[in-house]
Structure 1
């Protein structure tokens, strides 16, 4: 298979973000891909990127998009910039990987999906939690009847961000209008991963609260007004009939930052992690069923762990699995990796959750 040439918008070594922490290690570990270009918003950061990554570097995203060596454009910047950048890439017929969320709202997501369909190119959305081997193993165990019928699931997690302090570079997260909130980002990642194991939701109910009215900006010790709720409580009814409860809290805790328990008629499964964001967490999976009275660590089968060779450790591991599945889809003509059409479905779920929080009622998923 010919290598897929990748260009990343938003990969500055001077201010390392998600692209530097996850995308670049993932791409460099996978033989199907080759990083060929990056673009940043300033000339100095572009020059630093050229030196650090030994690829073409631009300070204008349109130059990257028009680079003939770039087959796949990766958009890893603030959500408020997604509409312009993704639209520009689609306009010239490039494949696009957009980080989640696809847009600030459902309207932008629908617009970008429509443009992708018109362009006739493959797309990829950054919802990678489902590809963790532990998640896949739990899904298979439930399908095989290990815990019997799913009765309920409860999950408590912390968000790293949305705590009491923030660097200036992440201050936008505390403004609800940017589209990157605890509900739209970590909670949605969590629910998407949970649905991979348990199936889709029939109804949802959400309550949120803004408990930290200000946040301390560590760069200059100034106070920043907060408009996005930092505590979110979710309740859902699965299509299978099971109940789901998820509580997301901003920041981190001295206790469990991720504890996820699935209770069945014949057994139980438990996930734990020191990191609260399930899509990047290193997960410990335990289980017990039948006559067993205690939990025991469950070993993930080798075929799941080695499904995609060359996967790096760290934050980029599930991102690498997402990339690997995308390459396999191109090679095999399949559509397993989530695309912009799938992203629109998840944006609709966000709208339903927001409606529930606003109206204080249960909303039926459509």
Structure 2
């Protein structure tokens, strides 16, 4: 099988990111399967038809159930709001379709486990969308750790800082409603940090956290697109039912200590998704706002030249970069999605599970809920307590 016929549910922020990745993949990774962008699906007929024409899909549809049942679709790509993930994924698996689902995988750990069980029972491939894993600099960080070049890992510090809802009159978008989003900065931003920590240094053992909702109510929106929205500040207001900021401390199974901070109330930080890892032989630092760079420090450097060095992860020696531009020519946010769908299609081609899979989505959800329990009960919570 050299082609994969894709049906995608969702057409806004992530829909555009996924569509761009599918379109770029054959040009830069010609040895993988060719994605056929068959059907894009959304509830608003005019909106999804516009997306179809703009993004390059063959057809537009408004009923995801009909899409899932079609015989000419091999993969269902789910990037609709979080409350829709479970139902679509279960139906796709039952129909024998491979499933690619954005994060967080579900609104609850129980739902995430049900999605994983359904995919495994159906024997389909399943992937969850943690795209930040696929930055070449992050891949380099993982290699340095796996090769033992940082020695024993002592600390993971992660922070994901944004500022797009600092204005108290910013409308009440779906991401601020628990029944749709599941949680706020914790599940949206913190989930990426949790996955990053697991990807780099291993499983969480126990956690303790705190959170706050700074703005309790907001004007109801008249329109929403991605992370933007329109609304009148004098419109009726609705309650914000998710966290604006969540911080937690962690202990990892390896014995390393961790701290993770996720907030949408950090003025001046548009998308500061960053981490620092300290080990017995060195340290690394990464900030997605400078995503092509990894700061690296080794303790065995000569004393007179010790210090963090900037590694520009754009050489062919770095993951994925031989597919792009000459050394030193940087790539961007959208390329992480191209790398992500490359992994997905290669896994399907080679009959293996892609990574990250629904297993990773379930493990991330377990940490998210352990933090929420620790906040509610004001105590350390072992992650295994939720299994």
> What TM-score comes out, normalization by structure 1 length?
0.87
1:197 aligns with 2:209: no
Partner of residue 140, structure 2: 137
For the 8 Å contact 1:101–1:180, the answer to whether it is kept is no
Give per-residue Cα distances to partners, 1:283-306, cap 9 Å, x unaligned. Answer: 531112223432220143524333
For the 8 Å contact 2:127–2:354, the answer to whether it is kept is no
Partner of residue 3, structure 1: 3
Structure 1 residues 339 and 146: alpha-carbon distance in aligned structure 2, compared to 1, 3 A threshold: closer
For the 8 Å contact 1:164–1:212, the answer to whether it is kept is no
Q: Secondary structure at the match of 1:197?
A: helix
For the 8 Å contact 1:164–1:215, the answer to whether it is kept is no
1:30 aligns with 2:30: no
Q: Secondary structure at the match of 1:110?
A: helix
For the 8 Å contact 1:206–1:234, the answer to whether it is kept is yes
Partner of residue 91, structure 1: 94
Q: Distance in 2 between matches of 1:126 and 1:302?
A: 25
1:44-193 equivalent positions in 2, closer than 5 A: 44-52=46-54, 53-164=56-167, 171-178=173-180, 179-193=182-196
State the 1:184 CA deviation.
1.6
Q: Secondary structure at the match of 1:234?
A: strand
Deviates more, 1:255-264 or 1:130-139: 255-264
1:287 aligns with 2:283: no
Structure 1 residues 336 and 111: alpha-carbon distance in aligned structure 2, compared to 1, 3 A threshold: closer
Q: Secondary structure at the match of 1:361?
A: coil
How many equivalent pairs are there?
354
Structure 1 residues 273 and 87: alpha-carbon distance in aligned structure 2, compared to 1, 3 A threshold: closer
Two-structure CA RMSD over aligned residues (Å) = 2.6
State the 1:264 CA deviation.
2.3
> What TM-score comes out, normalization by structure 2 length?
0.83
Structure 1: where are the runs of 5+ without partners? 275-280
State the 1:336 CA deviation.
4.0
State the 1:4 CA deviation.
0.8
Q: Distance in 2 between matches of 1:335 and 1:305?
A: 20
1:19 aligns with 2:15: yes
Give per-residue Cα distances to partners, 1:53-105, cap 9 Å, x unaligned. Answer: 25111121123223333211111111112222222222322111111122211
Q: Secondary structure at the match of 2:268?
A: coil
1:353 aligns with 2:374: no
